[in-house]
Amino acid sequence: MEEKKLKELIEDYKHFALVLLAVGTFLYIGIWIPNHSPRTNIQEIMLIGTSTMMLASSILFFKLSSKYQKKLDKLQS
């Protein structure tokens, strides 16, 4: 039971991390693509902040996944 729960957590955290990484990267690229309508500084700061927050959250979820993977490895050995 414990192993199954850990495997599910690992898989979920990896999925969260990949989705956040994809969306964060998409927003980051969107900052540098020229836009026909001018963006205000506040909009650019919000894009940069959101992108940074998503990329940082992605790293956090990858670390959590790794933590639970190590815990699962100890449990199985």
Q: What is the pLDDT of residue 30?
A: 85
Q: Give the tens place of pLDDT for each residue, 24-72.
A: 999 999 888 877 778 788 988 998 999 999 999 999 999 999 999 999 9
Record the tokens describing residue 71, joined without a space: 């815990």
**What SS3 class is residue 26?**
helix
Distance of CA 48 to the CA centre of its chain: 15
Q: What is the pLDDT of residue 1?
A: 62
Q: What is the pLDDT of residue 63?
A: 97
* pTM score of the predicted model: 0.84
Report the alpha-carbon distance of residue 47 to residue 13 in Å, rounded. Answer: 24
Asked if 62 contacts 14 with a C-beta cutoff of 8 angstroms, the reply is yes
Reported for 26-31, long-range contacts at CB under 8 A and 24+ positions apart, including other chains, are: 27/51, 27/54, 28/55
| Structural domain range at position 72 | 1-76
Q: How many domains does the chain have?
A: 1
